Each structure stands twice: as C-alpha cells, then as structure tokens.
Amino acid sequence: MMKTIKKSGITFLSVIFFTALTSVYSISLQAQVRQYVNPVWAPAYYSGVRYYYIPDIETFYDLVNQDFVYLDDGQWQFSDGLPPMYSGFDLYNAYVVALDLNVFQPWMHFHLYVSNYPRYYYRNLYSRTEIANIRGFNENERKPYYWTPEARNKITEVRKTNTTVQKTRTTRPPQNINYYGKNIGQPVKVRSQMKENTRSQIKENTQVGHEKR
C-alpha cells in the first residue's frame, strides 16, 4: 500500500515538474519572437516578421530600422522613403511578401527573391477576382493573406490624413551587392549564411557605439 502511494506521489510530482518545464520553455520561445512596429501602408502584421519584400519594385523594407532597401548605382541603398524612381508607387495597394522569421539581411541574397518572386508574378498565379482580394504572401504560413473590409477602410482613412510628401533621407551607408538563387514562386529557404550571426552583430553594435562617442 505504502509503495503504491509513493509511486503515485512520484508520478504526480514528475507530471508537475514536466508541465512547469514545458511552460518555461514555451515562455522562453515566445520571448525570442521580437515584435516590430508595422508601417501604416503594410498588411496586417504577422508576429515576429522583420522584413517585407515588394516584388513589383524589387524593394525590401526593414521594420527594425524602418527603412526601404533597394538596389541603385550597383549598391544597396537605405532610405526612410521609396527610392526616387518609385516615388509614385502606391504602397497602400502593393503586393507585399512577409519574409521568413529566420532570415537576416535578405537583400544580400537578392537573386533568390527576384527569381522566387519576379515582378507581377502573382498575376499568373491567381484569377483577376482573386488578385483583387489578395494583399500579399506570407512565407511563414506558406500562403497568401487577404484584404479585409477593416483593412481597406483603414487604408482609405490613412490616405486622407497622409497627404504631405516628405523628402526621402538616407538612413544607412550603402552595401555592396551579393547574388544567389532559383525556384520561381516558392518561399525562399533560409540557409545558415542568411541567418543573423549574434556574435558578429554584438561586435558590430559595439563598434558603432564606440564610433558615436
């Protein structure tokens, strides 16, 4: 009888310990998913996404630095607004790709994105009716996301208030180009060289901090 009680007690404690451990691990994973400020023109935010890609103008958007990244004069340029050659582009109705949560500096692997998501590629994938309702593609869910009535109303209101044209400013020094890639219309597979190197980033941030002093 006592042995049975002891075994039951041990089993009960083991279950509690395992449950607590699982909860801590789950909380830890959630803490690793960073949240970024979504620009007003962007589709509904998917938790943890840092980068958008806009295929029609071959431009990235970095939610951390809140700047556009585009190729010009043989280098990647960074600015707080669209590049001059796309100043008339309608961001509010743009087809936007939410990139994989694990990717870092996707423009350094540009050829993967222009080959997987060529300009206007979605026009050949969906019917006219579907395209009218599709807002973009989410690599993390591997499926398109759609306009909602609420989103359309919000965009209409934002357009009414954001009528001032601001001068575009450079936000960071340019970067040299780098190419990889293939597989048209498929989500880009994030490889090891595309992920953020935590050590190198800490070193880079430290150097930047010293330079500002």
The single-letter code of the amino acid at 80 is: D
- Model-level pTM? 0.68
pLDDT tens-place string over residues 11-47: 555 545 445 544 434 434 444 688 999 999 999 999 9
Q: What's the whole-number mean pLDDT along residues 113-138?
A: 93
For residue 178, give Cα distances in angstroms to 1, 100, 106.
71, 19, 10
Which tens digits make up the pLDDT trace of 99-123?
Answer: 999 999 999 899 889 999 999 999 9
pLDDT score for 22: 47
Q: Which residues pair with 76 in a beta bridge?
A: 71, 175
**Mean residue pLDDT across the chain:** 79
- Give the CB-side neighbour count of residue 3, counting CA atoms within 13 A: 0
